[in-house]
Chain A
Amino acid sequence: MVPLSYYLILSGILFMCGVLGFLIKRNIITIFMSIELMLNGVNLSFVAFAAHWHQLSGQVFVFFVMVVAAAEAAVGLAIIIAVYRTRETLNVDQVNLLKL
C-alpha cells in the first residue's frame, strides 16, 4: 500500500511544475500545457484522497475537472489558432495589443 503522502508529494510536484511553467514559459501552447499539468496535479490529489477515505465524491470531482479541462482545451486551442493566424506568433509577450 503506497502511503497517501507519496501521492500528495507527487501531486504537489506536478502542480509546482505547472505553476513554474506558467510563470516562466513564453510560448502560449506550453503555458496551456502547464495549466493542464496543474489541473492534473490537483486531480491526482483528489483521487488519492478518494481512495484513502473510501469516498467516491473525489473521483466524481475529477470527472468534472476533466470535462471542464476538455472544454477548455477545445476553446483554448481554437483561440490560439485564431491568435496565430492574425499575429503569426505564439509568444505571449508580443500579444499585448490590449495592454496599456
Chain B
Amino acid sequence: MTSNPYLWMVPLLPLAGAAINGFFGRRSSKQAITTIALVFCGAAFAMALFLAATFSPASAPYYYDLARWIRSGNFQVDYSFYLDQLSLVMLLVVTGVGFLIHIYSVGYMWDDDGYYRFMCYLNLFMFFMLMLVLAKNYLVMFIGWEGVGLASYLLIGFWFVKDSAAAAGKKAFIVNRIGDFGFLIALFLMIQHFGSLDFTRVFAAVQPLPVETAGSGLLTAIGLLLMVGAAGKSAQIPLYIWLPDAMEGPTPVSALIHAATMVTAGVYMVARSHVIFERAPTALMVVAIIGTLTALFAATIGIAQTDIKKVLAYSTVSQLGYMFMACGVGAFSAGIFHLMTHAFFKGLLFLAAGSVIHGIAGEQDMRKMGGLRYYMPWTFLTMTIGTFAIAGFPPLAGFFSKDEILWKAFSSPYGSWVYWLLGITTAFITSFYMFRLWFLTFFGDYRGDAATHDVTHQSADAHAMHDKHGHDAHGHGQHGHGSHEQSSPHESPWVMLGPLLVLALLSFVGGWIGIGGRFEHFLAPVFQSGVSSELAHETAGEAAGKGTEMLLMLISVTAAVLGLLLAWTLYLRQPQLPARIADRLGGIYRAVSNKYYVDEIYGALFVKPLLDGSTTILWHFVDQGLIDAAVNEAADAARHVSDNARHMQSGNLRSYAGWVAAGGAVVIAYMVWMGVTK
C-alpha cells in the first residue's frame, strides 16, 4: 500500500469542468464550453495515463485519503481513493473512451440548444464514474454508483420535452432504485458483521471465513444482494428493461453511459467483491445463471428490432450478460477483459450508429436505411470493424475476450458445458443480428426518402412500461440540424470521425493484450488474493485442455461465420425471406419483436397494482381521507368557532361596556351565591 496524492485529482477535474460549464455555460460561447469540457476531461485522461505510466505492481495498490467523512465509534468511512490493477484498467477505459466520446459529442451536439447542459452533464458523469472506479470503500463507491445513475437520468431525459424521453429517464431511475436497494442492504450487512466498508478491511475480515457450502449464510446473502445491485445498474434479468428505453438519450450518451462505462459498473463491483463471491458459490452460480440467461435472452430480442439503437442496446445487455457469466464462473479477469474490449467496440458501434443517424437527419429505423456505404465511407469502415469485433472474428478485440469467457465457462471449476453451449448460441445470434444491422444499414439501396423523413417522433404513451417503441421510428425530435439540413445522406464531420477511427483501432488491436494470458497475469495480483486453490486448478486445466481450447475456439469462430452467412442470405441475397419467415413463425416472431412482452408483464404484475394501490389506498384513502381530512377538519372547526366569536368584536364601544358590565354582574352573582372564601 503506497499513498499516491495524485489519485483524488482524477475525479475532481471533470467535476470542476461540470461546475464551470454548469454555472457559466448558459452565457458562454460554444467554443468556451467546448474548451472547458474537453480540457478538464482530457486532463483526467492525462492524469490516468500518468498514473498508468508510474504504476508499478511492486508498490501497488495505491491509496489516498482525501478527507474524513464518518467517524462513529469504531466505524469509519473516509473519502479515500484506491488504485490497483483492476481500477487502473477501469480508469483508463473510462477516461479514454470518455474523452473520445466528449470529442465526438462536440460534433454531434453542436447545433443543440442545450449544448452547455449536455457538456456539463457529461463531465458530471465522468466525475461520478471515476469516484465509483477509484473508491477505496463501498460507500464512496455508492456515491459514484448513485451519481452515475443521476447523470444517466439527466442524459436519458436530455430532450425532456419529448414525453418518451422523460418517461425513459424516469424508468431508468426507478428500476435502478430497486437494484440500489439490494446494494444498500448488502452494505448494511457488511457494516453489521465486519464493522467497516473499506475494501481492504472487509476483504481481510472475509478472507479467513470458510467457503459457504450449504447455499446459505452471510456471504451468500451479501453476494446475492450485491448482485441485485449489479443487475439493476448493469441491466441484467430481471432489471434490464430500462436500458433499451434509455436509447431515448442522445447517441453519445448511449455510447458512453449505456454501453462503454456506466452499465459495466455492476461487473466491476462484482469483480471488486470477488473475495466475497468466491466464498459464496451459490451467489456465484446465481451470477453465472443470470448472466448466461440475460446474454441469450437479450440477443434473441435483438434479432427482431428495427431501430438501429435498440439493436445495439439489446446487444449491450447481452454482452453484459457475458461479463457476468465470466464473473459467475470465477473468471473475473476474463469478465474485465471483455468489459474493456466491449467498451471499445460497443462505444464504436454506438458512435458509428450515431454518425449514421446524424447523416440521414435523425432516422433510426434500419428499414429506411441501406446503401449507406457509398454516402459515408468512413463510418462504414469503422462500423465494419466494430461489427466484426463484436461478432468475434479473429484477430479483432471481441474474439479474444469472448473466447476467453467461453473457454472459462467451459473449463473453470465453477463452469459447466451448459454455460458454454448457451454462450456459443448467443455468440451465433450476436453475429447474426449484428450483420443484419450491418447489411440493412450499409448494403443494398438507400430505402429512405430524403424528403419525407419522419422527423416528428411518435408521441409515446405517458406510461413508459406500455411503450411499444420497438416498432416506432423515433426521430431525433429536438436534434437541431437546422443550419446544415441536407436532403441526401452525408458523411459526418471529422470531429466525429476522429474518435470513431481511434476506437476502431482499439477494437482492432485491443484484444491483443490478452494473448498468452498477459491481461490475466496483469490482473492476477487483484484476483489471486481469493481462494488460492482455484488458480492452481485453472492453470492445471489450461495445460491439460490446450486441444479442447483450440477446438472450442474453432467452434466459436464457426458460429460467428455462420451468423454472417445467415444474415447475408436473409438480408442481402434474398431480402424477401425474412418477412416470409416472420409470417411462418407468427406468434413467436410477434413475441420476440415485442420483446417477449416483458414490459407489458411487468406493467401488469408490478406497475399497475402499485399504481392502483397507491391511487386508491395511499392517495384517496390515506392522503385525502386521513391526512388531508384531519388538517382540513381542524381548520374548518377553528374557522367555525371564530366565525361565531368574531361577532363580539363589533367595534361598538357601548356593547363592550355592556360586556364588561355583564361580566361584572356574573362575578358578583357568583360571589353572592357561592359566598366569598379566603
Q: Which residue numbers of A lie inside 8 Å of B, CB to CB? A: 19, 22-23, 92, 99-100
Contacts and interface: CB of A to CB of B under 8 A. Distances in A.
Nearest to B665: A19
B540 interface: no
Contacts of B661: 19, 23
A22 B657 contact: yes
B651 A92 contact: no
Interface in B632-678: 651, 653-654, 657-658, 661
Chain B interface bracket (under 10, 10 to 19, 20 to 34, 35 or more): under 10
A23 B651 contact: no
Contacts of A92: 653-654
5 contacts: A22-B654, A22-B657, A23-B657, A23-B661, A100-B651
A99 B653 CA distance: 10
Nearest to B658: A23
B668 to A, nearest CB: 10
Contact of B651 (A19, A22, A99): A99
Nearest to A31: B654
A100 B658 CA distance: 20
Nearest to B650: A99
Contacts of B657: 19, 22-23
Nearest to A98: B651
Nearest to B668: A12
Interface of B: 651, 653-654, 657-658, 661
Contacts of A23: 654, 657-658, 661
Contacts of A19: 657, 661
Contacts of A99: 651
A19 B653 CA distance: 13
Given A23-B661, A100-B651, 6 more contacts: A19-B661, A22-B654, A22-B657, A23-B654, A23-B657, A92-B654
Closest 7 CB pairs of A and B: A99-B651, A19-B661, A23-B654, A23-B658, A22-B657, A23-B657, A100-B651
A100 B651 CA distance: 8
A100 B657 CA distance: 18
A100 B653 CA distance: 13
B47 to A, nearest CB: 73
Nearest to A95: B653
B143 to A, nearest CB: 60
B506 to A, nearest CB: 82
A19 B657 CA distance: 8
B352 to A, nearest CB: 78
A23 B657 CA distance: 7
Contacts of B651: 99-100
A22 to B, nearest CB: 6
Contacts of B653: 92
A85 B653 CA distance: 22
B294 to A, nearest CB: 75
Nearest to A34: B657
Best-buried of B651, B654, B657 by chain A (most CB within 10 Å) = B654
A22 B658 CA distance: 9
A93 B361 CA distance: 83
Contacts of A100: 651
Nearest to B649: A100
Nearest to A19: B661
B655 to A, nearest CB: 9
Contacts of B658: 23
B657 to A, nearest CB: 6
B577 to A, nearest CB: 90
A100 B646 CA distance: 14
Contacts of B654: 22-23, 92
A19 B658 CA distance: 8
Residue from the set A23, A92, A99 with the largest chain B CB neighbour count within 10 Å: A23
A22 B659 CA distance: 12
A45 to B, nearest CB: 13
A72 B11 CA distance: 82
B599 to A, nearest CB: 65
